[in-house]
Structure 1
Amino acid sequence: MKKRSAIGISGFFLLALSGIGLLSCGKQRATFDVREATIASTQAAIRARQVTCHELVEAYLARIKAYDQSTKLNSIVTLNPEALADADKLDSEYRHTHTLRPLQGIVVIVKDNYDTKGLQTTGGSLAMKGFLPDDDAFMVKRLRDAGAIILAKSNMAEWAFSPYVTESSIAGITRNAYALDRVPAGSSGGTAAAVAASLGEVGLGTDTGNSIRGPSSHNDLVGIRPTIGLTSRAGIIPLFSGNDVGGPMARTVADAAAVLSVVAGYDPQDPITALSEGKAQKDYTKFLDKNGLKGARIAVFRRYIDTPTADPEIKALTEKAIADLKAQGAEIVDPFSLPDYDKLTKGLWCGDFQSDLNTYLAQHGRNATYHTLAEIVASGLYLPYIQDEIEGAVKPPKSADDRRAPCPDVYHDPPKIAFRDALLKAMQEQHIDAIVYPTWSNPPRKVGDMKSPAGDNSQVLSPQTGFPAITVPMGFTHGTLPAGLTFLGKQFSEPMLIKFAYAYEQATGHHKPPDGFGPVM
């Protein structure tokens, strides 16, 4: 079987310039601006013959060439050399059918821990350089089946270890699209920065404790961490599989909902997705209701707002967001607290990176250079900032309290069950539909700063219960630094959360594009 080769950014454009025809923006009709384009506007332009799938790919490639390295954004690891050929097939199909598939022509950026058939997948690790998976991850396959075009793989925190930075031994440091001296958070910061700068239309991230919602908040995006079991983990390089989940990152709630519609659902290769049977929606966009907050019971989780180290401007934005929710007809329950929170959340984290990664490599990594975590650690191919985590993962447990193996998923781990039951009980007693809080209580740190308050509020309520959470832009602090508001709901409550997030987004209109990424001339 012929495999797609992994071509780096500079190599891709050298091929283009040598006349192979991978990039021919000079022939592009300047009738459709991909900056801030939505799925709906892009497909409307295709139907109106204003743009072709081929031209869309060319436009995004031109933007990557113009901006990703020159600005030091550094969001892209690998370009798909088949993207234009894939676009041509979709153009031919449309000429014959006059019908668009759900995401036909939509250009997607995929985090570099998703398997992409024949296209390099590294998990941010130099030890995985050159690894070409035999198959697509289930979610990637769903995207392709829906007509989406996989344009590029995005940079990530090495092995997804860090919620604070997006730095890998495979590609270096990714920066925040809204302030290039700031971090995009981690670990899906490459996807976030690329989508924010309109280097692709939408993207996929993964979230173990923060990694969709944090980068989305830091880059003025909408990010959805789905209910554990709604989307498949098959073909995704794991961090802690019991908490891992994949989901969409986009500039609008509508686009995030459209992507979720395609990627959600049962996968026999990931048994936990059996929970989604009868609960996954075929079309989450039908819940886009600008009046969706009327009558909603929204609880304010003050614990994440009134922390001593919280940035005053983010606190002010959050208070304004609460007032906006009320103005849109929501009933506000403030404060909402969880009895025994400290006791219930003590020692919740568990995970066995070594076991999970070795299982992935055995199932998917036959072509990889290294086949166990121990071999990777012995190679020394990792950055100093993850040394403690990666070396600690191969060392024997220090005590009986070490919650590595066995580490059940969130639905079979007694401490997590107790925490989820307590949260659910508190929500039911007060008839709460959703809980809100700032996604991060502090703005993006400067690159290299690991000492100032971080403010990550995403590690507990959603990951340790399996409940879904959506972050949506709620404004800017200190001039240009984005902040996000999180809506958290009960298991498989994505339709309700999308309705709330959309109503808030439409009423406030906080998203705006970053400076410095204008049209390509």
Structure 2
Amino acid sequence: MLRTPTSILFLLLGLFILGCSPETKKASSPTAKFELEEATIEDIHQAFREGTCSCQQLVAAYFERIEQFDKPTRLNAIVVTNPEAMERAKQLDEEFADTKVLRPLHCIPVIVKDNYNTEGLQTTAGSLALKGFKPAEDAYQVRKLKEAGAIVLAKSNMAEWAFSPMVSISSIAGETLNPYNLEHVPAGSSGGTAAAVAANFGTVGLGTDTGNSIRGPSSHNSLVGFRSTLGLTSRAGIVPLYLRNDVGGPMARTVEDATKILEVITGYDPADPLTKYSQGKVPQNYQQYLKKNGLKGARIGVFRTLSEKNPDPQVKALFEQAIADLRALGAVIVDSVEVTNFDELSQDQWCDVFLHDINEYLAAQGPNVPVKNLDEIVASGKYSPYIEENLKYFQQNQFVAEEGSHACGDAYNDPRRIAYRNAVEAAMEKYDVGAIIYPTWNNPPAKVGDFAGYKGDNSQIIAPHTGQPAFTVPMGYTYDNLPAGLQFLGRMYDEPTLIKYTYAYEQGTKHRKPPVRFTKSVASGR
């Protein structure tokens, strides 16, 4: 159950007097007040410097929004808030008062998907089977964010065990809805993080992406979502789905904020062997690539192979406008790019490794984890009906490579995956493009309960198997103000190019806008 700590209630009494309220004007002078809605990391840090908001006031204001909007509207994005957040905010206020120095993410409240281990804070992967489990230590990415000054504000709802790319339904917290239209889904499995960040329940968020689950929900909620190169960021301490595919990373309202998160969480971690491939390939500063003119002279390929797969007319129109906008912003558009043997190479890339990966994860959690393996999860009966078939399938099916077959490995060791990536990057070389674009989804968000409405998910097809980075940014809105996203696929470890392109496109189009129902002015009748 979501509760606001007593200490927060006292702080709330002073919010409107002290200026750090959810509905006041943005800080532009020492006497200006700070606006919480759509606040960026830089907005927050500027408010700290000017004294128009403190860390404690900021955290209290976000908690107020969660209390006001999450359960009352049935958005249901948040599983649990962090009872230690206010104490950490107090410590960070004291640190800034003493040092006058802000850490890179000083007091930035983060919404963390409920499959990231958070020390002393419940982590369930959306499953009642893990209810009450509090890990002994943070996931690598969470630890790095905390070291940079960030605060874990809350854990967000998700598709149970990350099984669904379409919905975010869990036995621990029920179903998350789309803040742009509560009759529609936010996608899965990071739908809780997406809905929470879109509704301004936190500044930024963490999601995970096995096939779709950062980019799909980001697209459905008018957010920026980075699926970085497989191996660039550590997955240690994240409940796995398929480690051969899994990537954790930022979900944010701006490319700049997502870039600041990426900059902190990258790097080698001995606990995740795949990160060894990133050594020597990580720039110290990703923010240097945030260039408004980053599209001038850029060669970008249109991937009609995906964009023309039965697109919804309104999504298709947005995509064609995006191409025109890219061209107007200085890009050279190559329309279109073809990948040799694409249909053949893109097939047979999935392998059933959940049994192995989840058992390894649970075995590493120590004696206090409520279930020790997949058999115990199934035996507990504590799961949502819609995943029962998946659970029992994985319980009985584990991929075992036969002699002479492909290894069912990651993008660095599986011959089929290497061949697939080589073909995609060869096409990028042939057409001399820095990125390939296509709609993140060819269709708008499906209606709640309409599993047949799951259509047009383009995220599953390339990046999860080749290991390449793929970023989504807001592309505009379709029926009933439902968002759509534009996806940029890049070469391995070429996040700098994707940052340049997505930032320039974002700054040149400014598609992002908050969901109307979740603005303070609408809620208060003003």
TM-score scaled by structure 2? Answer: 0.94
> Matched residues in 1 for 2:405 and 2:72: separation?
42
> Matched residues in 2 for 1:151 and 1:140: separation?
12
Aligned identity (percent) is 55
Name stretches of at least 5 consecutive residues in structure 1 with no aligned partner.
Answer: 1-7
- Matched residue type, 2:325: D
Question: Which aligned pairs between 1:491-510 and structure 2 lie closer than 5 A?
Answer: 491-510=492-511
> Matched residues in 2 for 1:199 and 1:155: separation?
13
> Residue in 1 aligned with 2:351?
350
> Matched residues in 1 for 2:404 and 2:366: separation?
26
> Matched residues in 1 for 2:405 and 2:381: separation?
23
> Residue in 2 aligned with 1:235?
237
Cα deviation, residue 47, structure 1: 0.7
> Matched residues in 1 for 2:102 and 2:400: separation?
57
Cα deviation, residue 401, structure 1: 8.5
> Residue in 2 aligned with 1:148?
150
Task: Work out whether residues 122 and 133 of structure 2, in 8 Å CA contact, stay in contact via their aligned partners in 1.
Answer: yes
> Matched residues in 1 for 2:406 and 2:459: separation?
24
1:200–1:23 Cα change, 3 Å: farther
> Residue in 1 aligned with 2:11?
24
> Residue in 2 aligned with 1:518?
519
> Residue in 1 aligned with 2:196?
194
The SS at the match of 1:320 is helix
Cα deviation, residue 282, structure 1: 2.5
> Residue in 2 aligned with 1:276?
278
> Matched residues in 1 for 2:459 and 2:291: separation?
26
- 1:460 corresponds to 2:482: no
Task: Work out whether residues 352 and 405 of structure 1, in 8 Å CA contact, stay in contact via their aligned partners in 2.
Answer: no
Residue of structure 1 aligned with 2:111, choices 109, 112, 129: 109
Question: Which aligned pairs between 1:37-436 and structure 2 lie closer than 5 A?
Answer: 37-308=39-310, 310-396=311-397, 407-436=408-437
Cα deviation, residue 364, structure 1: 2.2
- Matched residue type, 1:462: A
Cα deviation, residue 127, structure 1: 0.2
Task: Work out whether residues 349 and 403 of structure 1, in 8 Å CA contact, stay in contact via their aligned partners in 2.
Answer: no
> Matched residues in 1 for 2:365 and 2:169: separation?
24
The SS at the match of 1:127 is helix
Q: Deviations over 1:20-58 (max 9, x none)?
A: 556631122233221000001110000111101000000
Cα deviation, residue 394, structure 1: 1.0
TM-score scaled by structure 1? Answer: 0.95
1:85–1:398 Cα change, 3 Å: closer
The SS at the match of 1:24 is helix
- Matched residue type, 1:200: G
The SS at the match of 1:393 is helix
> Matched residues in 2 for 1:78 and 1:418: separation?
43
Task: Work out whether residues 242 and 351 of structure 1, in 8 Å CA contact, stay in contact via their aligned partners in 2.
Answer: no
Cα deviation, residue 384, structure 1: 1.5
Q: Deviations over 1:350-380 (max 9, x none)?
A: 1310110010111125311110011101111
Cα deviation, residue 113, structure 1: 0.2
The SS at the match of 1:77 is strand
Task: Work out whether residues 164 and 454 of structure 1, in 8 Å CA contact, stay in contact via their aligned partners in 2.
Answer: no
> Residue in 1 aligned with 2:479?
478
> Residue in 1 aligned with 2:30?
none
Q: Deviations over 1:372-428 (max 9, x none)?
A: 011101111111111121110111469989999963112111111111111111111
- Matched residue type, 1:356: D
Cα deviation, residue 460, structure 1: 1.6
> Matched residues in 2 for 1:67 and 1:479: separation?
20
Number of residue-to-residue matches in the alignment: 507
Task: Work out whether residues 351 and 399 of structure 2, in 8 Å CA contact, stay in contact via their aligned partners in 1.
Answer: no
Task: Work out whether residues 351 and 404 of structure 1, in 8 Å CA contact, stay in contact via their aligned partners in 2.
Answer: no
Task: Work out whether residues 262 and 282 of structure 1, in 8 Å CA contact, stay in contact via their aligned partners in 2.
Answer: no
> Matched residues in 1 for 2:401 and 2:495: separation?
38
Cα deviation, residue 175, structure 1: 0.4
Cα deviation, residue 430, structure 1: 1.5
1:75–1:365 Cα change, 3 Å: farther
> Matched residues in 1 for 2:197 and 2:425: separation?
34
Cα deviation, residue 283, structure 1: 2.2
Task: Work out whether residues 406 and 415 of structure 2, in 8 Å CA contact, stay in contact via their aligned partners in 1.
Answer: no
- Matched residue type, 1:432: V
Cα deviation, residue 281, structure 1: 2.4
- Matched residue type, 1:109: I
The SS at the match of 1:486 is strand
> Matched residues in 1 for 2:105 and 2:318: separation?
34
The SS at the match of 1:463 is helix
Task: Work out whether residues 23 and 61 of structure 1, in 8 Å CA contact, stay in contact via their aligned partners in 2.
Answer: no
The SS at the match of 1:464 is helix
The SS at the match of 1:511 is coil
- Matched residue type, 1:298: I
1:370–1:34 Cα change, 3 Å: same
- Matched residue type, 1:512: K
> Residue in 2 aligned with 1:4?
none
Q: RMSD between aligned alpha carbons?
A: 1.8
1:206–1:23 Cα change, 3 Å: farther
Q: Deviations over 1:473-498 (max 9, x none)?
A: 01000131000000110001111101
> Matched residues in 1 for 2:398 and 2:67: separation?
47
Q: Deviations over 1:436-485 (max 9, x none)?
A: 00000000011001113521000021111100011000100013100000
1:423–1:436 Cα change, 3 Å: same
1:221–1:21 Cα change, 3 Å: closer
> Matched residues in 1 for 2:108 and 2:405: separation?
40
> Residue in 2 aligned with 1:3?
none
Name stretches of at least 5 consecutive residues in structure 2 with no aligned partner.
Answer: 20-32
Task: Work out whether residues 401 and 408 of structure 2, in 8 Å CA contact, stay in contact via their aligned partners in 1.
Answer: no
> Residue in 1 aligned with 2:24?
none
1:491–1:400 Cα change, 3 Å: closer
Task: Work out whether residues 75 and 190 of structure 1, in 8 Å CA contact, stay in contact via their aligned partners in 2.
Answer: yes
The SS at the match of 1:364 is coil
> Matched residues in 1 for 2:352 and 2:288: separation?
36
